């Protein structure tokens, strides 16, 4: 499914020096987000910092959101993940997309201006309307959870 999303460029380097986010392949789910920086940011082990993307989007549809997810190569090989683990972009948010970058690794990591640091994935959302009840219709699982079915 394709959907037009309003996007504002907040930094003149986006679309010129730094490419606009784009799907790398026809089957890509994520759009890479780039660090819109003036200079290299050195992230020490254990450190977290907020990186601007130079972009704002307005999704404008309560049945849609976007998530910011780590890039697997950065996360697995370099320990560069997200300070909030996953970023959630509300459909009414109009501010700059920011990426909280956390160096969970053992080595310092340099973030270059324009480097692809995370990815943006749009997802459908269902807003719940709660129906207050005193008992649920019985289900097979009932209240069992947190591993009650064992491990093997
Ligand atoms: O990685 C992220 C996470 C969030 N946001 C923006 C978009 C989102 O819509 C807004 C609020 O995020 P969230 O609701 O997760 O944070 P909060 O701590 O609950 O802040 P608020 O009180 O503003 O809702 O911040 C980002 O730019 N990057
Ligand atoms: Mg919130």
Q: Considering only CA atoms, which residue is closest to atom 25 of ligand 1?
A: 89
- Say how many Å lie between the CA of residue 95 and the centre of ligand 1: 10
- Say how many Å lie between the CA of residue 88 and the centre of ligand 1: 6
Which ligand sits closest to the CA of 85? 1
- Rounded to the nearest 5 percent, the helix, strand and coil shares of the chain are 5, 40, 55
What is the SS3 assignment for 96?
Answer: strand
The conformation of residue 95, written as its DSSP 8-state character, comes to S
Tell me the per-residue pLDDT of 2-34, one tens digit each, with 9 for 90 and over.
999 999 999 999 999 999 999 999 999 999 999
- Say how many Å lie between the CA of residue 85 and the centre of ligand 2: 15
The conformation of residue 75, written as its DSSP 8-state character, comes to H
Tell me the per-residue pLDDT of 26-46, one tens digit each, with 9 for 90 and over.
999 999 999 999 999 999 999
């Amino acid at each position: 499914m394709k959907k037009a999303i309003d996007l504002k460029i907040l930094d003149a380097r986006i679309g010129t020096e730094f490419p606009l986010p784009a799907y790398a392949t026809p089957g890509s789910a994520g759009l890479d987000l780039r660090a819109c920086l003036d200079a290299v940011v050195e992230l020490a082990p254990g450190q977290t910092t907020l990186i601007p993307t130079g972009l704002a989007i307005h999704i404008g549809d309560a049945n849609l959101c976007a998530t910011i997810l780590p890039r697997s190569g950065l996360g697995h090989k370099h320990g560069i993940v997200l300070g909030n683990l996953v970023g959630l972009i509300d459909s009414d948010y109009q501010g700059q997309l920011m990426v909280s970058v956390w160096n969970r690794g053992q080595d310092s990591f340099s973030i270059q201006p324009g480097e692809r640091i995370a990815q943006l994935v749009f997802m459908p959302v269902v807003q719940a309307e709660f129906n207050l009840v005193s008992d649920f219709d019985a289900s097979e699982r009932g209240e069992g959870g947190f591993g009650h079915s064992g491990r093997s």
